[in-house]
Amino acid sequence: MTQLDSAKLSRRTLLGVFAATATVAAPTFSKAAGFLRGAGDIRRISMYSGRTGEKIDTIYWVEGEYIKDALKEITYFMRDWRTDQLMGIDARTIDITAAAHRLMDVSEPYMLLSGYRSPKTNAMLRARSSGVAKNSLHMKGQANDLRLKSRSVNQIYAAACACSAGGVGKYSRSNFVHMDCGPVRTWGS
């Protein structure tokens, strides 16, 4: 899907994508923050880590303000589990992740595969795979790799693309979707 295609993703198209497995709510706003404004005065993120066994389900925004302690919890949860290093997670990435989750109308938490990556971890992964960027936004706390048991990679990808708020990569063979708060762009198969 190209940037132009994702920008033109309509309510009808998104419903068609989801109809294969379940009918779910479709977007009414084109930007992640705009969609979340439609959610009221509360924003929540729910994830678990298959690597550490940890879970997070927290409200991180109330009445127009980010909750500093919640952002600290999210930063710790999304740390580089290989090195135990932390990097502040960009709130825009959290917003995109939460907006895509709301678009899919699921209660199931995301499985976090990768949040922050230290330069050491990124170099190790890059040596093993051509799909790891040298200057990955993971190293800036601006990206995550996610999956859901109840939704396909195509469905997660379509929801993230509908946010029109950052980069979205589809990794069908590895069963995950990359979301970041960098420039709006798409890739993958």
What is the full per-residue pLDDT of the chain (189 aa) written as tens digits? 444 444 444 444 433 433 332 323 333 223 555 555 555 679 999 999 989 999 999 999 998 899 999 999 999 999 999 999 999 999 999 999 999 999 999 999 999 999 999 999 999 988 888 778 888 999 999 999 999 999 999 999 999 999 999 999 999 999 999 999 999 999 998
The residue extents of the domains of the chain are 3-188
Rounded CA separation 48/118 (Å): 20
Q: What pTM was estimated for this model as a whole?
A: 0.78
Fold of 3-188: Muramoyl-pentapeptide Carboxypeptidase; domain 2 (3.30.1380)
